[in-house]
Structure 1
Amino acid sequence: MKSVTRSLRILEAVAQHQPVTVGELTKLFELPKSTVQRTLVTLAEAGWLRANRTDTTRWEIGARVLVVRPAALQGSSLFAAAREPMIRLRDAANETVHLSVPDALQCMVVVDRVDCDRAVRTFHTIGDTSPLHATAVGRAVLAHLPKRDVEELVARGLERFSDTTPADPDELRAELDRIRADGYSINRNQYRPGVCALAAPVLDGGGTPLAAVGISMPDSRYNEDRVLEWGRLVAGTAAEVTERLRGA
């Protein structure tokens, strides 16, 4: 049990200080470097931790934590505030609706989903992750983050997933300006081929994005003539969730 407790404490420390080095953790816990290194490797093999992409000597939280997080959120005020508005949005649009939260600048994580009854529809597994710059939910959040965060993301490099992914920094900045003006973001085949989406942010009292509500659909049902309607629906839903959270 002692080793389990030590592993959990190290996992918590990585979550708090990430990205963190073995040396920093060794000093924090006053443990032998070999013990800390062995614990980190074990947690990484199980998917709880991962090496930082830009500096592999530093450690950060892994994908398995992101999968567990949605279940923990089901009892949260965010989950409770969003559920009914999401169902109404699904009924109004007759398309899949999902709620995603940001994992810092690493990715967006799907934490809830309401499916439509169409035979052909999009599907997002709870716990799925996606990049901020290439998705509607991600850009809805990114548009309301401080400029320094946007520039940090840009400095890491913007991966291109399709011919229409906003991988050029100026293109992304212009798109974020449009999202702030319109109140919603649009993704047409920019991440997954054949999948389109619109999304709007859920904000806290200070305007910081907590989550994003999205409508997604196959490209075959995407209709430019309905974009304004869909945009108003998803923005209205996100605003309702925001108000419900503030009143919670």
Structure 2
Amino acid sequence: MDKRIDSDENPLKLKQGEPTVQAVDRAIVLLKLVSMSEHPIPINDLAKQAHINRTTAWRLLSTLEHHGLVERDALTKGYRLGLAAGQLTSVTSSNELLSLRARPMMEKLAETTQETVMLSVPKNFGVVAISQIDPPHSVRLIDYVDVVLPLHCTSNGKLLLANLPKAEVEHFFDRPLEKRTTRTMTDPLELKKQLNTIRKNGFALSIGELDESENGISAPIYDANGVLIAFISVSGPAFRFTEDRAIQIAQNVVKTAVEISNALKQ
């Protein structure tokens, strides 16, 4: 259950005589409220608990978001701690906790597939890897940790699109899609057909769509409430990790995603 600040305990109230900068006080209160919430918290709830109006809350949260201290969840639009918040404290961040829980399953999958295994999370209208295990091969993928990648040409990105509400998917397709390679799908109608297939199969492929020399497969990780929070991926050089090979290990990748999802419920 989320921790709450009681309504009769104004979090903005300071001890008498303490110097204060009101905007800084309010921003810190919002940051604390976000950190105490186990799930992305809506702006209306934040404004109410911080005893400030919604417009003020939005301006302060926008500033915190600009500095990476908070970020909006792509699915719920609620606010959660950003990557920069974890860099300011020795306390284990939510992403670090996720990585720790997933690590044993990631290592097992890496040993089985002998390819790069990545754990990624949504990042606004993109995805970012928070953990990566590389294979023993001399030819392997670059380090993608902390690199924000697009949705339409990555396997985990397409999984996110497949899980978004219809209105948000339509909004995403309002903008032109960048053609990263000759295989990148930029036709919204064709990509929507592929999203239907992804929903049916429970996994997504990227075959030379982000980089012509790389292929990948991803499966979704859900929290206890059934909310998509992360992705497990296996990727490798196209000459070795072919589309057939990716499909061959699909059920293993999906199984690993389920195991991680279950571990997060404990």
Q: 3-state DSSP class of the match of 1:82? A: helix
Which of 105, 109, 112 does residue 128 from structure 2 map onto?
Answer: 109
| C-alpha distance in structure 1 between counterparts of 2:142 and 2:24, whole Å | 37
Does residue 197 of structure 1 match 2:216?
A: yes
**For the structure 1 residues 240 and 194, does the alpha-carbon distance in structure 2 shift closer, same or farther, using more than 3 Å as the test?**
same
Secondary structure, aligned partner of 1:221: coil
- Deviation string 1:87-130 (CA, Å, 9 cap, x unpaired) is 100000000100000023x2101111111111110123321110
TM-score (norm 2): 0.68
Residue 208 of structure 1, CA deviation: 2.5
**Seq. identity, %:** 28
Contact 1:199–1:214 at 8 Å: present in 2 too? yes
Aligned residue among 111, 129, 146 for 2:148? 129
Q: Structure 1: how far apart are the matches of 2:187 and 2:86? A: 32
2:56 maps to which residue? 28
SS of 2:220's partner is strand
The aligned counterpart of 2:94 is 73
Q: Could you tell me how far apart the structure 2 residues matched to 1:192 and 1:69 are? A: 30
1:153 to 166, 172, 176: 172
Matches of 1:120 and 1:9, distance apart in 2: 46
Larger Rg: 2
2:215–2:235 CA contact under 8 A, matched in 1: yes
- RMSD between aligned residues: 3.6
Taking the TM superposition and a 5 Å limit, the aligned residue runs for 1:9-28 are 9=28, 28=56
2:169 and 2:102 mapped to 1: Cα distance? 26
Structure 1 residue 72: deviation in Å? 2.6
After superposition, the Cα gap between the structure-2 partners of 1:67 and 1:124, relative to the gap in structure 1 and judged at 3 Å, is farther
Quote the Cα distance in structure 2 between the aligned partners of 1:135 and 1:68.
26
What is aligned with 2:113?
93
Indicate if the aligned counterparts of 1:162 and 1:189 stay in contact, CA closer than 8 A: yes
TM-score of the superposition, structure 1-length normalised? 0.72
Distance of aligned partners of 1:206 and 1:10 in 2 relative to their CA distance in 1, 3 Å threshold: closer
